[in-house]
Chains A and B, each alone.
Chain A
Amino acid sequence: MKLNGAQIFVESLKKEGVKVIFGLPGGVVLKIFDVLYDYKDPEVILTRHEQGAMHMAEGYAKATGKAGVVLVTSGPGMTNTVTGLADASMDSVPLVVFTGQVSTSLIGNDAFQEADNVGISRPCTKYNYLVKDVNDLAQTIKEAFYIATTGRPGPVLVDIPKDVSMNQTEFNYPEKVYIRGYNPTYEGHKWQIKQAAEAILKAKRPILYVGGGTVFSNAFEELREFAEMTQIPVDMTLMALGSFPGTHPLSLGMLGMHGSYTSNMAIHHSDLIIAVGSRFDDRVTGKVSEFAPHAKIIHIDIDPTSIQKIMNVDIPIVGDVKCVLKELNQHLRASLDGRRKEELKPWWNQLEEWKKKNPLTYKQNKDQKIKPPYLIDRLYELTHDQNPIVSTDVGQHQMWAAQFFKLDHPRTWLTSGGLGTMGFGFPAALGAQRAFPGRLVLSIVGDGSFQMNLQEMATAMDYHLPVKVAIVNNGYHGMVRQWQDLFYNSRYSSSFLGQHPDYVKLADAYGAVGLRATKPEEVDGVIKEALKIDKPVLIDFQVDPYENCYPMIPAGGANNEMIMEDPPELRKKEKDKAGMKKAGNGEKEGVLTA
């Protein structure tokens, strides 16, 4: 039987097992939306902005491991997806994004709502397609899902001209796909793995440096077995949080610019780094020439371009983290004995010393404003037994969440790492909530970030996505203000967010629930109340506007050169500022509670 392009599109998605499409209609994709009108499955989640659809699909994909699917129109519909595409490229999120295109006869004529979708998206997708003939549509969709979800995952864009969605052809969905230029390596090189095992057995100060690749390859059990067997401490990147239990005695927490003191000291002084699905990002290495000066490096990654890009690697292993760790564990199981724990004792003694010297901590007095780390800690304490999914935006609150919200389970952490996209957190939480309707989904956001995609409040209400949004409201672009404090003489150029909405009223306007806490003693009560409400809840936590996030490695510094607290002269300025009119605490409160 012949089907038109729009029907082929929907039937192909069904074959791929797609349950949800995040999107927004427009002229050239009306045929597709018209066909979707007759289907309950896949369901269309109508977002209020295409960027919202992208981050929802990312949240869905990160939480489930399946490809997130987006459908938008041509021109501005597509250009609004660009930030999401770049974000998904950097963080290896499997997405298949369908964009409408003007009819093939009009392409290149500057038609209404025309954009060069393939040209614009080329550098921020893993691959992209322009489907010029309806006969190629099914094959293209099959390939798109295959490319997005295999190897190092990433976003794939499929551009469908209007006439292609209308034209008819026989529908045959291909069973298999073969692309001769695309053959990801899964199994690691045996000899290299043997070399790695030998190096691991000899190391005196080894460290695991675990990245997001561990999450994508579902290697949690293998990683845990490896770490427990070898007693090697675990440093996690921002992307890896949850891939190894944060409360595990072997975990040193997050490393890098705002990582824990111990994790950074550990990697700096190590003699062997086992990099697992991580890519030596500049936020991790700091000054490359002084990064881990005594260490040999084993690097396991499915993407050959990640290896030897930043650091010289002694034992490169190209392959899937899960496959390689499995094989490595086999080697080690055979050759490890009880002595190993003894051998690593001096190293662990050193690590414990560092932990004691500078633990991750904060101070909160009753008469102070709410300290953001205290807030995160309370959120953690009051919710962790429910195994929540936690999303964040980008900035100070993100780093505090990474430090204090200890995640014990994989795929519970949704954050924008590589691109650092403000506005990511709230829609990502909605996507995850749609995937897991019964679960607690927390979205920890900054007041600056949240305002970048708050229009999706309407989507949350429409589809009953009862995400709990904790706004860490300090009235600033906090991380920008922190850098201005430390490196720009506290000149707060464009970091103070003067005019604020009343978030309680804002929630009310959307039909959601708004709550507010302004004092430390109110925090627990508000959180508990929010957890009881089966609706989206927006909580305005008015926190200390001058709190800075530490430890911090200044950009370009080495990992052992951490700043642990505000410099003394900054404290003084801050005190002076408290008395100032502009940007002062009192004024901000006045605006908010008036």
Chain B
Amino acid sequence: MNDSGIIVDIQRFSIHDGPGIRTTVFLKGCPLNCKWCHNPEAIAYKPQLSFNQEKCLNCFACVSVCPTGAHFIKDNKHEIDFTLCQLSGDCVPACPNEALSITGKVNSVEQVIELILKDKDYYINSGGGVTISGGEPMTQFQFTKQILKACKDNSIHTILDTCGHAPSEKYLEILPLVDLFLYDYKESDYDKHKEYTGVYNDLIQKNFNMLYGAGAKIILRCPIVPGINDTDKHFEAICNLYKDYPKLLGIEIMPYHNIGLDKARKIGAEGQFISIDTTDKEKSREWISALNELGCTNIRLG
């Protein structure tokens, strides 16, 4: 039994990840590597050093305490080689301006639940609950399962926000503890899926079919990225799903935004992701009407 896990963040008063007022727990670690990832700090399984350049005073306090030379001075400016960081954590308190931090903290199930329970009354009054997201929560399966179990023990509504890429039997095991799945549908083309996310989509589709067949409540979430998957073909595929899976609770379009880039920069992973403008509202509305025209009506912006 793993009674602790690694968490990126716990967001209270979360109102965009499922119905009502929720607490969303973002777990660290994801088997995918989507080019448009908006939580890049949640991809790696381990904690990471995070550096906010804007706050750096170039005082080099970090350089003198770092045991592995990850912090160094170049042209009289503070630089970081993230590959050298061994997470001693010594630089964090040394920094006088809070420019450095460690992303990812070990939390026990009890700690998480304690925080979750603080807002229980808000869940009840708003029809909300708890959403486990990430990263991919299935990568910390035991931890996720225990949090969900504890939620159910406390009569709290649960959502699992998942990319679908995890062993099928694990989904079956966790199914009784999940009231609603937010299930990603990123790209319909087999090869493109691999190209953009790092994995093929066959397992994802298989798990989707399985959960649907088992009667799971599912909202499909489709990230749409301009120039990548805003294609007629992908839109048609979304509409076919809409027709073929009438018991879906809904389809949400998640227009691309580039907030993730700043977070990627902080962990030295900037180059791995696409860099385009955040989708404007008009474009999002065009997508919705295009999908409507194709016959897909129960669709909304997520």
Do A and B pair up? The answer is no
Using a CB–CB cutoff of 8 Å, the interface residues on chain B facing chain A are none
Which A residues are closer than 8 A to B by beta carbons?
none
